Amino acid sequence: MRILITILFLFFSFFGFSQSVSAPVSRTYQINTSGQDASGFVINGFNSETLLTSIGLINPPAGTTFSITTTTGLTFASGYSTWSNITRISFTGTMTNVNNALASLKINTGSSTGNVQISVSTTINPTGYYYNATNGHFYRPISGSSTYTAAKNNSTTQTFKGQTGYLVTITSQDEQNFIGANVPGNNIWIALSDRLQEGYWRVDAGPENGTLINIGNYNGNPQSGTYQNWCGGEPNDAGGEDYAVTKWGGGNCWNDLPDGAGWTSGYVVEFGTWSNPQDATFTGFYAANTTNTVAITNTLTGTISIPSLSSLPTVTLYRIINGSDVLIETKTVSLTGTYSFTLPSQNTTYKLVPSLSIQGINNTDFNLVFDESKNINTPPNTQSGLVMTGTKQWKASDVNEDGVVNMADAYLVAAHITNFRPITKVLWFQPSSYDSITKNNFSSISPVTFFTISVTTSNVTQNIKYCILGDVNLSHSSQ
């Protein structure tokens, strides 16, 4: 039995605690909204090791960033200094602290729509290497003056996590910014040369090797679909300059230089041949991503304040187009009185029309109206001890809506009870109007038949209250 238990323990240790990163399901994020939940990424299977973890947004719509609100026990990787409103970050920490941070991940959006991929990766923290969460590549800066030829050749002799290195190629502004933030020194060799044909600048290493990006000097003729970042007036081939550096003179742009060691302070070895972090094949490296949508997802939500009813109100949504009502949808509110619509268009006006079929008028209502009507100077009757004491009772009691509660209203309630002349009207109100009704002002508080809603770029809430005309006991009116 002891042997069996040991075998089972080893089995579950091997299969139940493998190292991995799991991703949440895709979400839809509303435009122009900060702090939207992006949690659900979880790192598994590590112990107390210090992990290098990276989060990146792949091709996000303009204005889309993320923030991390729980950062206990974490340390920025080189080149990073803030947890808020960023598109890429790398940091170190234990698995527990990293997972706490991932649980606090929030997406912030601007006014642009589109898809955004969130990529999370982790590995046991390597020394001297920097990870770009956008493309899933590692970079190793090598300091010291070197010729271009030596830098290129030496790069291919290095391996890291199962990948062979190459002299860094810079193929996007994001990658340029990453190099600028993380690589020390100035005048750094990059794999770009026109040595084969003067003025024809081609990528000289890596997966893009041979790609023509520019023809001619003095910024020349950039080739469509390629990235370049020449300094002003470069390349200029002054004295036979066939190779390129970045961070020229402490900036973040490129210059052309001859194949010598005197101008430079180092180079960078790049590891990784893919463009999507999810495709990485590093050993001991784990990644996951999820593609989300940034869209206009305005909703109209609200409540109709109701006690328990034998039937529930419905609400019908119309969009107003050129003065006409276009039906969108009709819904029955939930048992708690809530409802929600997805609004199909921005910057437009909608009409919300409530409806209720239940009528709760009975003998109790007649007795209340009849007894109160004996106070013929109502309103404004200020005597104490009147039959009706609830302020909404006055609005419901004025069945003929003439601004006075008297015997005429009592007779109409009686006619309803005997099915001679049913009362079918429901009075709908904005909550503030409904709550302001008193014995003395009920005739001046006007109900509405629909609610007009103007929508721009944010979600809207429309709460509604009502009372049934003649339901003097208010047993079926808003509370």
- The model's pLDDT over 45-59, given as tens digits with 9 standing for 90+, comes to 999 999 999 999 998
Q: Which of the two residues, 268 and 454, has the higher pLDDT score?
A: 268
Residues 472 and 333 occupy one common structural domain: yes
Residue 8 lies in a domain: no
| pLDDT score at 385 | 47
| Rg of the chain, C-alpha, whole Å | 36
The amino acid occupying position 236 is N
Q: How far apart are CA 457 and CA 460, in angstroms?
A: 9
| Residues linked to residue 354 through DSSP beta bridges, in sequence order | 315
Q: What percent of the chain has pLDDT over 70?
A: 92
| Residues linked to residue 338 through DSSP beta bridges, in sequence order | 303
> Rounded mean pLDDT of 127-148?
92
Q: Confidence class of residue 5 from pLDDT cuts 50, 70 and 90?
A: very low
Given a cut of 90, whether residue 375 has pLDDT beyond it is no
Task: List Cβ neighbours of 205 (8 Å cut-off, separation of 6 or more).
Answer: 152, 155, 156, 166, 167, 169, 191
**DSSP structure string for 121-180:** EEEE--SS-EEETTTTEEEEEEES---HHHHHHHHTT-EETTEE-EE----SHHHHHHHH
| pLDDT score at 189 | 97
| pLDDT score at 15 | 40
Residues 157 and 191 occupy one common structural domain: yes
Q: How far apart are CA 207 and CA 225, in angstroms?
A: 16
Q: How far apart are CA 94 and CA 450, in angstroms?
A: 57
Q: Which domain holds residue 369?
A: 298-479
| pLDDT score at 150 | 96
Q: Give the CATH number of the domain where residue 320 resides.
A: 2.60.40.1120
DSSP 72: T
Residue 2 lies in a domain: no
Given a cut of 50, whether residue 7 has pLDDT beyond it is no
Residues 334 and 288 occupy one common structural domain: no
Q: How far apart are CA 290 and CA 22, in angstroms?
A: 10
Q: How many domains does the chain have?
A: 3
> How confident is the model over 74-101, as pLDDT tens digits?
999 878 899 999 999 999 999 999 999 9
Residues 111 and 256 occupy one common structural domain: no
SS3 50: coil
Q: How far apart are CA 336 and CA 331, in angstroms?
A: 14
Residues 292 and 305 occupy one common structural domain: no
Q: How far apart are CA 467 and CA 471, in angstroms?
A: 7
| pLDDT score at 457 | 61
**Mean of the per-residue pLDDT values of the chain:** 89
The Cβ of residue 362 has, within 10 Å, a number of other Cβ atoms equal to: 16
Residue 341 lies in a domain: yes
Q: How far apart are CA 193 and CA 190, in angstroms?
A: 9
Which pair of tokens denotes residue 123?
């590995």
Q: Confidence class of residue 29 from pLDDT cuts 50, 70 and 90?
A: confident
- Domain end, chosen from 240, 264, 297, is at 297
> How confident is the model over 399-458, as pLDDT tens digits?
999 998 888 999 999 999 999 999 989 999 999 999 999 988 999 999 999 999 988 766
> Rounded mean pLDDT of 275-291?
91
- Among candidates 60, 75, 54, which has minimal Cα distance to 119? 54
Q: What percent of the chain has pLDDT over 90?
A: 67
Q: Confidence class of residue 379 from pLDDT cuts 50, 70 and 90?
A: low
Q: Where are the alpha helices (DSSP H) in 300-400?
A: 363-373, 391-397
The amino acid occupying position 132 is N
Which pair of tokens denotes residue 475?
């047993």
| pLDDT score at 376 | 57
Q: Give the CATH number of the domain where residue 212 resides.
A: 3.10.100.10
Given a cut of 70, whether residue 16 has pLDDT beyond it is no
Given a cut of 50, whether residue 6 has pLDDT beyond it is no
Phi-psi region of 102 (alpha: psi -120 to 50; beta: other; left: phi over 0): alpha
> How confident is the model over 304-349, as pLDDT tens digits?
988 777 688 999 999 998 889 999 899 999 999 999 998 877 678 9
Phi-psi region of 144 (alpha: psi -120 to 50; beta: other; left: phi over 0): left
The amino acid occupying position 154 is N
Given a cut of 90, whether residue 32 has pLDDT beyond it is no
Task: List Cβ neighbours of 32 (8 Å cut-off, separation of 6 or more).
Answer: 109, 110, 111, 457, 458
Q: How far apart are CA 261 and CA 49, in angstroms?
A: 40
CB burial of residue 89 (10 Å; 0-12, 13-18, 19+): buried
Residue 429 lies in a domain: yes
Q: Confidence class of residue 1 from pLDDT cuts 50, 70 and 90?
A: very low
| pLDDT score at 214 | 95
Given a cut of 80, whether residue 302 has pLDDT beyond it is yes
Residues 340 and 191 occupy one common structural domain: no
Residues 288 and 302 occupy one common structural domain: no
Residues 291 and 344 occupy one common structural domain: no
Taking the CA atoms of 74, 79, 85 and 88 in sequence, report the sign of the dihedral they define.
negative
Residues 460 and 374 occupy one common structural domain: yes
Residues 344 and 450 occupy one common structural domain: yes
Given a cut of 90, whether residue 390 has pLDDT beyond it is no
SS3 59: coil
Q: Which of the two residues, 472 and 191, has the higher pLDDT score?
A: 191
> Rounded mean pLDDT of 358-365?
85
